[in-house]
Amino acid sequence: MVLDNDFKQAQRRVDELITLLDHYSHEYYVLDRPTIPDSEYDKLYQELLKLEEMYPTLVQQDSPSQRVGGTLLPGFEKVEHDLPMLSLDNAFDLDGLRAFDKRVRQLVDGEVEYECELKIDGLAVSLKYENGKLIRAVTRGDGRVGENVTGNVRSIKAVPLKLKRAVTIEARGEIYMPKSSFIQLNEEREEQGEAVFANPRNAAAGTLRNLNPQVTASRNLSVFLYSIVQYGDLNVETQSDALNSLDKLGLRTNPERTVFQSIEEVWTYIEEYQNKRTSLPYEIDGIVIKVNKFDNQEQAGYTVKAPRWAIAYKFPAEEAKTTVNEIEWSVGRTGVVTPTALMDPVHLAGTTVQRASLHNVDLIKEKDIRINDTVFVRKAGDIIPEVVRVDFDSRSKETEPCQIPTQCPACQSELVHLEDEVALRCVNPKCPAQAKERLIHFVSRNAMNIDGLGEKIIIQLFEKQLVQDVSDLYRLNKEDLLTLDKIADKSAENLLNAIKNSKDNSLEKLLFGLGIKHVGAKAARLLAEEYESIENIKRASLEDIQSIEGIGEIIAESIVAFFELEAAMDLIDKLKSFGINMTYTGVKRQATINTDSYFNDKTVVITGKLEHFKRNDLKEELTLLGANVTGSISKKTDLLIAGIDAGSKLDKAKELEVSIWDEKRLLKELSE
């Protein structure tokens, strides 16, 4: 039994860790001013996990460990807003703003000042806190009824689960996807042959309404709050006061806001941000102008659909016309063949654009894009050039339908269009274009991070046949590198040192670098932490891998399939021969096995839906008690823990006369 003073010490430390982690998370995700390195945060987080594993009763609802749920949501409950989430009237030019200003001054007594905020292009959400704790998050919906997305919003690290003061308030704002996350997400989806998102707003909406909170957590959404509906005990008299109060409570607001005395000053602010919008790390589509003083807002009042005291200035869509001269097809590392439009150069969002991704065959057909067509182009999220639509009024007889390739442009193998994908795919494992892209991926920052070994050098190495697969990088010598353009004696030595240093990378870097389908950097880290060596991963069953929180069925199937490939095993053996580290060297969870427990040295299988435990948490708790938790029933199994809908494992356990417990029996044993 645990001594009382041990429990009390653990309780004090858990409280202290939650406070520290909340503080550091606020600095990182809200203020963007971290004061400790990631490794130090990870150590504190792992310490918290260890204590929560040892003392499950100390797990608090607002603990950082509770951000991501482990189960799929059955659907989204409809919730009626306490106060409607109204839309705003729009203005599109200075005359429209002057008309708004005139109406406001007719409705309001005395001087008027305006608070201007950036109009974030995301998804509106309402966050409700009771006594400082997040209890509900609801989308705008139709303004009166929205969807309860609390489980997903809890996974967004910029949203605090607990405020700095125990107040009861409702704050509203915009959940969005940063431009960098949008680019990364679409690149990953394109590599996997999946349909890409049109812009960051669509990506944010699709992510927030995904029924798997783990997907939401993986896509790095963020939030800016812009209003308070229920004020609690906050003493605020203006919109600017309200936003400052949200900052003090630990909620994230956009700092790019200013109060002005005239609509002419507002217009200058609008012109400034219309020029700066492309340099922002998030997408905006306008400026919101609000009467600053709340008593003036009350005087102005509301129409049926919108407040009279606020208006949204919408930036004009920045599009340009150009001509499609050619469609180029390129092969990625996973074999996906991607079309790119080559166009007459056109100036767009501060840069000259000549190329635009067409993503996949289905999109070309849907938009009916042809060679010599006049098209409108824009930058999705102010970043990626894309063809918006064809100017059919300008279509001439000289246009030519796009010829969809039937053979790989790199190796001439026959292309396939799988039923569950929107992409054409080359399935030749020896395709040189795929091999080159795999090399580029292997050396990238999130993979083996070989400094200085960029795309141009990889292409030279490949074309000179100095490397064919990633293991060949570790055969390179100084003489090889000196044959490359712009590589001198010193730079060759630096590259060799960077290649040598990469041998000591932790396992998750290698796993990501191997380019296993569907396995991103996060999944690679989860696998490495769980199994600690590549040999353990090779031996893991599909069910065991799938039981890891954050690893779904598709990822698990892909991992198992990869390690069944003879070519993959040959590559790993080659890398081993060059001294590449195959173990996890990151922060490890320290666990003390309780050899006096009932479960010590017993082989245990868990099956069915559990009501009182998360499967992975129970697995870890039983492991700490000395159990060997496996994924399949055999004669060596000592105990089956059966939840609801246990299925075939329960039948097999009965057949083999394995001891069977339900959760009630398990809880009794654990409590003792």
Q: How far apart are CA 205 and CA 120, in angstroms?
A: 13
> Dihedral sign, CA of 509, 514, 520, 524?
negative
CA quadruple 617, 618, 622, 625: dihedral sign: positive
**φ, ψ (nearest 5 deg) of residue 517:** -55, 130
Closest by Cα among 321, 277, 305, 296 to 120: 277
Dihedral over alpha carbons 262, 242, 216, 208 (to 10 degrees): -60
Tell me whether residue 140 is annotated as binding. Answer: yes
Residue 175 has which token pair? 């959940």
| Cβ atoms of 191 and 133 closer than 8 Å | no
Q: Please identify which residue in the block is written with the tokens 């195959």.
A: 582
174 is in an annotated binding site: yes
Q: Is 655 annotated as a binding residue?
A: no
DSSP class of residue 474 equals G
Give burial (CB, 10 Å; 0-12/13-18/19+) of 336: buried
* 173 closest CA partner among 228, 224, 230, 248: 224
Q: How far apart are CA 342 and CA 178, in angstroms?
A: 28
SS3 157: coil
SS3 528: helix
Q: 439, 455 in Cβ contact below 8 A?
A: no
C-alpha 631, offset from chain centre: 29
437 within 8 A of 470, measured Cβ to Cβ: no
Buried b (16+ CB within 10 A) or exposed e, 517-530: bbbebbbbbbbbbb
**8 annotated binding-site participant:** no
Residue 117, annotated ligand binder? yes
Distance CA 451, CA 497 (A): 9
365 is catalytic: no
Burial of 430-451, coded b for 16+ CB within 10 Å and e otherwise, reads ebebbbbbbbbbbbbeebbebe
Beta-bridge mates of residue 387: 377
Query: What is the H or E stretch that residue 482 is in?
Result: helix 478-482
Is 39 part of any known ligand binding site? Answer: yes
Listed residue (482, 509, 483, 508) closest to 494, CA to CA: 482
506 is in an annotated binding site: no
The answer to the question of whether 16 is labelled as a binding residue is: no
Within 368-454, residue ranges assigned H as helices are 432-442
41 is in an annotated binding site: yes
The phi and psi torsions of 357 (rounded to 5 degrees) equal: -70, 135
Q: Describe the crossing of helices 263-276 and 94-107 by its angle, rounded to 10 degrees.
A: 140
Burial of 564 (0-12, 13-18, 19+ CB in 10 A): exposed
In eight-state DSSP terms, residue 197 is P
Of the candidates 226, 190, 198, 223, the one whose C-alpha atom is nearest the C-alpha of residue 88 is: 226
The separation between the first and the last C-alpha atoms of the chain, rounded to the nearest angstrom, is 8
Q: Please check if 314 is assigned to a binding site.
A: yes
Considering Cα of 579, then 582, then 587, then 593, what sign does the dihedral take? negative
Question: Which residue among the candidates 119, 157, 293, 436 is catalytic per the annotation?
Answer: 119
Q: In sequence order, what are the beta bridge partners of 291? A: 114
Residue 87 annotated as lining a ligand binding site: yes
Secondary structure letter of residue 413 according to DSSP? P
**Mode of pairing for the β-strands spanning 659-661 and 639-642:** parallel
Report the C-alpha gap between 33 and 42 in whole angstroms: 17
Q: What three-state secondary structure class fits 148? A: strand
Q: Assess contact for 48 and 56: CB atoms under 8 A.
A: no
User: 402 among the known binding-site residues?
Assistant: no
Among all residues, which ones are annotated catalytic? 119
Residues making up the binding site for Zn(2+): 408, 411, 426, 431
Question: Which parts are annotated binding residues for NAD(+)?
Answer: 38-42, 87-88, 117, 140, 174, 290, 314
- Summarize the annotated binding site as residue ranges: 38-42, 87-88, 117, 140, 174, 290, 314, 408, 411, 426, 431
